Amino acid sequence: MRLAIIDTGDLLKVVWTSIVAGIGVTAAFGLAILGAGRAMDYGREGRPIEALAYGTLGVAATATVVGSLVFGVLGLIDS
Amino acid sequence: MESDVIVVIVVATALAFDFTNGFHDTANVVATSISTRAMAPRLAVGYAAVLNFVGAFISLEVAATVARDVVDPGAITLIAVFAGLVGAIAWNLTTWYFGLPSSSSHALIGGLVGAVLVAEGPDAIFFESGILGKVMIPALLAPTLAFLVGGAAILVLYRIVGNLRPARVTRGFRGGQIVSGGLLALAHGTNDAQKTMGVITLALIANGTVSGNSVEVPDWVVVSAATAIALGTYVGGWRIIKTMGSRIHKMDSAQGFAAQGAGSAVILASTQVGFPLSTTHTISGAVIGSGAAKRLSAVRWGVAGNIIAAWVVTLPAAAGIGALTYGITRLFGTGAVGPVVVSALILSGATLLVVRRAQQGPPVSTAADA
């Protein structure tokens, strides 16, 4: 009965948003570092296909981080 | 005319509280970036001050919660708002003097509730839907969530970059901390400055300047609250820089990034739904989580225990001081004399504490030391 006075919808929103943003964006940034690092290593070793694959991963992960930040701040402004 | 004088005193007191909030919390916002050497101290402090200012303009959900959902805006008086603010400031000064990791936000809510309880009775306080549902439960949830998210994030990061060269990883995450540290400052400004906006709006409602039905926060309130917290952050930073280095727990740049990311995520998510939570406790939870996930013994659990103790004590203690302040102020009637006398008393007390603290050396610790 007491749960009725607590906005569980808002609480759950905070929980899932925090988990997705806190872990997801952090992991995406880690993948960006991994992609950039490995792409440089394979590039130096003359393995262009692997370098391209990791470079693509790095760019996609960076785009995910930037997109998430812009989406999050715009969401706050609109709320 | 006399009520206008009280409004001016209340607004000045609220902005002073906002300034001390920024001053007090600078360490929590910039400590991680500085300790991992992601940013030079001077740059980190200036950057945090600017983003605290910008953050205050992003949302008004928390301001609306403080002005509308904690106490009944239709029943509140200017003297009660004033007494609540003084209760919060007095508690903040006391905990600062003794070096206790207290939350300015909980002090503000506690002071307000105590003063309104004595002034208008329990019917003027929204205990269940407001205090419990929008303050107490989020206050418990946020640091716990930040702890878990910070811990999980660092474990995921170590898994992803564990096989890379350490120098490259450090360089990458130091770059990332420029973004995550900025986001944390933005989140801090967004949630904390809005509490002051909410209290000033409450005073304007009590004075009849703003309608209690729609709870519109005037633009000048937003700008002045943003300026006060940014100035407090900047001024507080110079004090922090002097003591930085020896007191902050050593963490690597990946941990710093994970802690800042987790703290920002929880604060911004809570801000979006209007929860006025303690940014200090949330950031501390994320810092402790990212440390504990790597190695349990790396965390100063004594400091963590102090944070929990301060969490339990702050609300009732600030409420008690708020109630007492209301009683003292009302001894002088309902005019401007009471607020003027009490303002002079709190100013004298603050000066005395600052002088004594300066003579005895810096206070013990901040929450971010964890």
Q: What is the DSSP string of A7-67?
A: -HHHHHHHHHHHHIIIIIIHHHHHHHHHHHHHHHHHHHTT-HHHHHHHHHHHHHHHHHHHH
The answer to whether position A4 is within a domain reads: no
Give the tokens for residue A10. Answer: 């808002």
In a domain, A68, yes or no: yes
Q: Residues B30-54: what's their mean pLDDT?
A: 86
Quickly list DSSP for B258-313. Answer: HHHHHHHHHHHHHHHTT----HHHHHHHHHHHHHHHH-GGGS-HHHHHHHHHHHHH
pLDDT in tens, B180-235: 999 999 999 999 999 999 999 999 998 888 887 777 889 999 999 999 999 988 88
> ipTM, 2 decimals?
0.90
- So what's the pLDDT on residue A1? 43
A3 located within any domain: no
Nearest CB partner across the interface for B156, out of A5, A6, A30:
A30
> A21–B190: do the CB atoms touch at under 8 Å?
no
pLDDT in tens, B291-346: 888 777 666 677 667 767 777 888 899 999 999 999 999 999 888 899 999 999 98
Question: CA-to-CA distance for A45 and B10, rounded, in angstroms?
Answer: 68
pLDDT (average), residues B240-249: 48
Q: Is the pLDDT of residue B244 over 50?
A: no
Cα distance from A55 to chain B (closest Cα, Å)? 15
- What pLDDT does residue B240 have? 55
Higher pLDDT, B312 or B90: B90
- Whether B273 sits inside 8 A of A13 (CB atoms) is yes
Contacts of B132 in chain A (CB under 8 A): 5-6
Tell me whether B54 touches chain A (CB under 8 Å). Answer: no
pLDDT, chain B, mean: 85
Q: What secondary structure letter does DSSP report for B361?
A: -
Is A16 within a domain?
no
**Domain membership flag for residue A1:** no
Q: In the predicted model, is pLDDT for residue B57 greater than 70?
A: yes
Query: With contacts defined as CB-CB under 8 Å, which chain A residues touch B133?
Result: 5-7
**Has residue A49 been placed in a domain?**
yes
Cross-chain residue pair A77–B59, CB shorter than 8 Å: yes
| B275 part of contact set with chain A, CB < 8 Å | yes
Percent of chain B with pLDDT over 90: 42
Q: Does A76 contact B133 at a Cβ distance shorter than 8 Å?
A: no
pLDDT at A31: 97
Position A63 in a domain: yes
B71 phi, psi to nearest 5 deg = -125, 160
The count of domains in chain A is: 1
Q: Does B140 touch chain A (CB under 8 A)?
A: no
User: Are the Cβ atoms of B58 and A76 closer than 8 angstroms?
Assistant: yes
Question: Which residues in chain B (160-219) have CB-CB distances under 8 A to chain A?
Answer: 160-161, 164-165, 168-169, 172-173, 176, 179, 183, 186, 190
pLDDT of residue B87: 92
Mean pLDDT lowest among A13-27, B22-36, B243-257: B243-257
Per-residue pLDDT of chain A (79 residues; tens, 9 = 90+): 445 566 788 999 999 999 999 999 999 999 999 999 999 999 999 999 999 999 999 999 999 999 999 988 888 787 6
Contacts of B183 in chain A (CB under 8 A): 69
pLDDT value of position B361 = 65
**Nearest CA to B289 among B258, B310, B249, B312?**
B258
Does the pLDDT of residue B241 top 90, yes or no? no
For residue A65, what pLDDT is reported?
Answer: 94
Question: Chain B residue closest to A66 (CA)?
Answer: B179
B359 sits in which H/E element: helix B337-360
Average pLDDT over every residue of B35-58:
88
Instruction: Determine the average pLDDT of the residues in B43-53.
Output: 90
How does pLDDT run across B133-180, given as a tens digit for each residue? 888 889 889 999 999 999 999 999 999 998 888 898 999 999 999 999
- Is A11 contained in some domain? no
Contact check, Cβ <8 Å, B273/A14: yes
Range(s) of the domain holding residue A52: 28-78
Answer whether 0.80 is exceeded by the pTM.
yes
> Does A79 contact B59 at a Cβ distance shorter than 8 Å?
yes
Size of interface A-B (CB pairs under 8 A): 125
pLDDT score, position B370: 36
Calpha distance B6→B173 (Å, rounded) = 50
